Each structure stands twice: as C-alpha cells, then as structure tokens.
Homo-oligomer: A and B are copies of this chain.
Amino acid sequence: MPSPALRHADLAGLSAQELREIIRAGRYDRHTAGLAAGKLQCNLAILPEAHALDFLRFCQRNPKPCPVVGVSETGDPMLPTLGRDIDIRTDVPRYRVFRHGDLTEEVTDITSVWRDDLVTVALGCSFTFENALMKAGIPMRHIERDQTVPMYRSSLQLVPAGPFGGEMVVTMRPVARDRVEDAHRISAAFPQAHGSPIGMGDPVGVGISDLNRPDWGEPVEVRADEVPVYWACGVTPQNVLQAAKLAVCITHAPGHMLIADVAEDAETTVLPH
C-alpha cells in the first residue's frame, strides 16, 4: 500500500535530505518555498552535452539571471557537490520536458526521459535573497499574500552564446524607500542567487510597459512610500532554453525546486568533501 501524499504543512522542520526522500518516493509534488530553512534551493536546466558548453558560456556571461551552483557529469544523475545522494531524475517535485521548444510533458519523475548524454546545470534561485531580506525586516508582499512574484520580460539584452540569448526576465518587489539601499546591499551578498537588483524605479527604464500586467505571476501593489525594485529572474534560463528549441531539455516546474544540502549563505556552493 503506497504511503499517503503529504501537504506542505506536513513538511515543516524536515531536513533537505528527508524532503528529497519524500519527494523521491512520490509523496510530495508541490512547491518548495519555505521548506528546509537555510538551505539553497535551485533552478534546474537539464540539456544534451552537445549544448552544455554553450549553455555554461551563456551562464558565465549572464551571471545575474543564471548563477551556476552545480554541474553534473554527462549522463550521471547525481549531484554530489550539492547534496548527499541527490538523484536529479526523482528528487525534484515536478519537472517540465521540452522538445524542440514545445512543452510536451509535466511530470514528477524523469527516469523514463533520462538519456546518457544529459548534463544537469543547477542555478541559484531568489528564495535565498528573499529569506535574507525578510530576516532583515524587509517584507516580501507576494509571500505575505501567498502569491507568485510578478515576472516581466524586460528589454535588457542577454549576452549570447551559441543558440542561447534573448532578453532578461526580471521580478519586481516593492521596497520601502528608506530600505532600498539595505535591500541592494543585502542581496548583493548573494551572487549565487541573482545578486543585487538590476534596476529600480521607473519600469519603462527596464522595458516594462505596465507593472500591473506581469508576463508570469501575479501583480503586486506598490505603495506611495515604496519603490519597485527589479531583480534578475531564474525564469530567464528556462525561457532561453525553450527559445533555443533543443531536441530535448528539462527544467523544474516553477516554484518546484531542487533542495540542496548546501547552506544558502555558504561562501561557495560546493559541499566540503
């Protein structure tokens, strides 16, 4: 008899490894925000080795939207530098499979899709700096309201590499005018998680025509004493991968992240060995 499915609230206090075991067993397939406090969570890009060098070059040239925190061996589903016994085929709650640029499957296990030529690239995510901002008393309105952060296609051109390029996707979070400098300084300390803001104030400056109409996520009110602050977003590499129309690539489903054993404030994202 299979174990019953678990809810987000059931998972409070569990370690990263315990959570991955539950996810691997198929007992949890929802979002990972707030789980395994203090541990790094990762965006995921899995692609054929033939494109991996170009993708790593792309990430190196666009470190704010694409901060690389782990890279697998070719064909090896394990990620030992990020955590104990991570099997990338099973340890993420929900995946998206793209073929020639089309989303063809959303699944909770990619064992049947796995190929010997796939390379996993793990990328830092915004949960890390959001946690640091909240700890410093800078509230995140979208989290308070249990909404998805608003995301926008910006006009900021990415530095291309091979088939990868396009425009940066950015998130917006309203910050009280007198905390904007703190928000900049605090997030700058997390280069592995998008780093400092890429802009603030007038949305037209970053190519956003209407803050109330995000391309993904839900709009968030900006009050009179607040400034809209823009950060590079981890949806960027997913978009770029999809636009490159590779024969196959796999990402996590938005919000359904890989939970690593690495501390989110570690100086490097490589576990001591």
The interface of chain A, by Cβ under 8 A from chain B, is: 49, 52-53, 56-57, 60-64, 68, 70-71, 73-74, 81, 119, 157, 159, 161, 188, 191, 195-196, 267-270, 273
* A73-B161, A267-B188, A273-B157 known; A81 vs B61 contact (CB < 8 Å): yes
Complex CA–CA separation, A119 to B196 (angstroms): 30
* Chain B, Cβ-Cβ closest to A158: B273
How many subunits of this chain does the assembly comprise? 2
In the complex, what residues of B have CB within 8 A of residue A52's CB?
53
Least Cβ–Cβ distance between A217 and chain B, in angstroms: 25
| B60 touching A53, Cβ below 8 Å | no
In the complex, what residues of B have CB within 8 A of residue A60's CB?
56, 68, 70-71
Q: Using A56-B56, A60-B71, A191-B191 as known contacts, list a sample of 20 further A-B pairs with CB atoms less than 8 Å apart, ordered by residue number in A.
A: A49-B53, A53-B53, A53-B56, A56-B71, A57-B71, A60-B68, A60-B70, A61-B71, A61-B81, A61-B270, A62-B270, A63-B270, A157-B273, A159-B270, A159-B273, A188-B267, A191-B268, A195-B267, A195-B268, A196-B267
In the complex, what residues of B have CB within 8 A of residue A56's CB?
53, 56, 60, 71
In the complex, what residues of B have CB within 8 A of residue A74's CB?
53
Complex CA–CA separation, A61 to B56 (angstroms): 13
Least Cβ–Cβ distance between A51 and chain B, in angstroms: 10
18 pairs of residues in contact across A and B, judged by CB atoms under 8 Å: A49-B53, A52-B53, A53-B53, A53-B74, A53-B119, A56-B60, A56-B71, A57-B73, A61-B71, A62-B270, A63-B268, A64-B268, A73-B161, A157-B273, A159-B273, A188-B267, A191-B191, A196-B267
Complex CA–CA separation, A73 to B63 (angstroms): 17
Complex CA–CA separation, A268 to B267 (angstroms): 16
In the complex, what residues of B have CB within 8 A of residue A73's CB?
57, 161
Candidate in A53, A71, A74, A159 with the most chain B CB atoms within 10 angstroms: A53
